Amino acid sequence: MKKIVKVLGILFVLIGLFWAVEDVFPTISSGLSISTLTNKTQYFTAHRGLSNVAPENTAPALEEAGKAGYYAAEFDVAPTKDGVWILMHDDTVDRMTDGEGNVSDFTYAEIMELNIDSGNGVENYPNLKITTLEDALDICEKYSMRPMVEVKGGEPADMADLLDIINGKNLAVEPLIIDFDSERLAAIRTLDANTELWYLVTKISDVRIAFAKEYNTGIAFNHKKIANLFKIDDVKDKGITCAAWTVDRLPAADILNALGVEYITTNRILP
């Protein structure tokens, strides 16, 4: 028993030291993960672009993700007052720009007068402007990187316009649309039977699994909610794609790999 306790103690110390070392660097290679020793594939998605290196949801963040070779780049979109879809995570422009107000209250011309003044590495990108959905899709196409479009604004009735923009690009790499809002996802599926959709959930529940099955969506869950780890098999048993967000520690990626989760969204783990 004393030997077991000693081994566990050493293991926890080593993990603690490893995590401390991880925190020193903005990115860390997945090649350092023990998952690389298994035969299970993991696909890494850059969260809001490579947001630990460049300001989130900007062209530079997407470019950095493309250069790094990510499977996909996730970015958030919402429509302006006059219906132009732009990249922004929040309902307002306050956190990321030198302006104030709700995204939905700006016209496209007005929002393009703002500058991105926050985010990692922002000092390297003076006069950085908000990125449009069209530009984001073009960057993904440039790097053969899958666009993972998270819908953050708009009503279910606006989803036709969103689909027109995405499908109008005729992308070589299949796009993916994700959302926390089940009504918008249902509207998209009614309009388009083929585009891959993921239902974003903080907590996996039987009701949400049933929705995903009915509307043919995947489920992407918060990996920090331990209870979700016990529901992974329930999701996979229904033939539903299972993905995890936002995973920034290699040990967490290893656990998810062991549980059969193939798709990982991350701020900092390099593919």
Residue that has been written with the tokens 């089940």 in this structure: 182
Residue 182 near residue 78, CB atoms below 8 Å:
no
pLDDT at 7: 44
Q: What is the mean pLDDT of residues 126-133?
A: 98
pLDDT at 38: 81
> What is the band of 10 on the pLDDT scale with cuts at 50, 70, 90?
very low
Question: Tokens standing for 14?
Answer: 């080593």
CA dist 130 and 93 (Å) reads: 10
CA dist 119 and 59 (Å) reads: 13
Query: Which burial class, exposed, middle or buried, applies to 234 when counting CB atoms under 10 A from its CB (0-12, 13-18, 19+)?
Result: middle
Give tens-digit pLDDT for 189-237.
999 999 999 999 999 999 999 999 999 999 999 999 999 999 999 999 9
Higher pLDDT, 6 or 227: 227
| Average per-residue pLDDT for the chain | 92
CA dist 63 and 20 (Å) reads: 28
Reply yes or no on whether the pLDDT at 5 is more than 80: no
Give tens-digit pLDDT for 137-188.
999 999 999 999 999 999 999 999 999 999 999 999 999 999 999 999 999 9
Strand 43-47 versus strand 263-266 pairing type: parallel
Reply yes or no on whether the pLDDT at 250 is more than 90: yes
pLDDT at 36: 77
Q: Which CATH superfamily is domain 27-270 in?
A: Phosphatidylinositol (PI) phosphodiesterase (3.20.20.190)
Choose the weakest-confidence range: 23-37, 125-139, 200-214, 250-264. Answer: 23-37
Choose the weakest-confidence range: 12-16, 56-60, 251-255. Answer: 12-16
Reply yes or no on whether the pLDDT at 17 is more than 50: no
> What is the band of 37 on the pLDDT scale with cuts at 50, 70, 90?
confident
Q: What is the mean pLDDT of residues 4-17?
A: 42
pLDDT at 35: 83
CA dist 110 and 239 (Å) reads: 45
pLDDT at 23: 67
Give tens-digit pLDDT for 254-264.
999 999 999 99
Q: What is the mean pLDDT of residues 113-128?
A: 98
Q: What is the mean pLDDT of residues 44-68?
A: 98
